[in-house]
A and B are shown apart, each in its own frame.
Chain A
Amino acid sequence: MTTDEHNTAGGLRAQLARVSNLDRRWIFLAMGLAVGVPILLKLRFPEVPGPLAIATFNAIEAVPEGSRVLIAFDYDPASEGELQPMANAMLHHCASRKHKMVFIALWPLGKQMADETIKNVLLAFHPQYQYGTDYVQLGYKAGNESVIKMMTTNIPQAFPSDASGKTLSELPLVADLESVQQVELIITFSAGYPGAKEWVQYAKSSYPDDFVLVAGSTGVQANQLFPYYPKQMEGMLAAIKGAAEYEMLVTAKYPVTKDKERFEEGRRRMGPQLVAHLLMIGLILLGNVAMVAGRSRQSRGGQGAVR
Chain B
Amino acid sequence: MLRRTIPIIILSATGTMLVVAYFSPFTLSWGETVLDWFNILAAVAFVLGAGNLLAVNLEKVSSRKAGWAYAAITLLSFAAMFIFGIFKVGAVPNPSAPDVHLAGAYEGLPSAFGWMYEYVLSPLTATMFAMLAFYVASAAFRAFRAKNVEAILLLGTAFIILLGRTAAATLLTGWIPVDSAFAVLRLDNVTTAVTEHVSTAGMRAITIGIALGVAATSLRLLLGIDRSYLSKG
Contact = CB atoms under 8 A, between A and B. Distances in A.
Interface of A: 20, 22, 24, 27-28, 30-32, 35, 45-48, 50-51, 76-81, 109, 111-112, 115, 141-144, 146-147, 149-150, 153-154, 157-158, 164, 219, 223-224, 226-227, 239, 241, 270, 273-274, 276-281, 283-284, 286-288, 291
Closest 8 CB pairs of A and B: A45-B167, A274-B166, A143-B39, A78-B129, A77-B122, A283-B141, A226-B200, A143-B42
Contact of A31 (B35, B137, B163): B137
A45 B165 CA distance: 12
Contacts of A226: 195-196, 199-200, 203
B204 interface: yes
6 contacts: A31-B133, A45-B170, A77-B121, A142-B46, A276-B133, A287-B140
Contacts of A223: 199-200, 203
Contacts of A273: 165-166
Given A78-B125, A112-B107, A146-B39, A32 B134 contact: yes
Contacts of B12: none
Nearest to B103: A165
A281 B28 contact: no
A46 B138 CA distance: 29
B168 interface: yes
B38 A153 contact: no
Contacts of B46: 142
A77 B142 contact: no
Chain B's interface size range is: 35 or more
Secondary structure of the A side of the interface? helix
Interface in B174-213: 174, 188, 192, 195-196, 199-200, 203-204, 207
B155 A284 contact: yes
Contact of A78 (B45, B105, B126): B126
Contacts of B153: none
Contacts of B204: 227
Contacts of B158: 284
A81 B137 contact: no
Contacts of B147: 291
Interface string B135-151: 01110111011110000
Given A35-B133, A158-B39, A164 B105 contact: yes
Given A30-B137, A147-B39, A287 B167 contact: no
Nearest to A141: B39
B69 to A, nearest CB: 24
A48 B170 contact: yes
B162 interface: yes
B15 interface: no
B192 A241 contact: no
Contacts of B207: 224, 227
B117 interface: yes
Nearest to A147: B39
B168 A81 contact: no
B6 interface: no
B38 A277 contact: no
B39 A27 contact: no
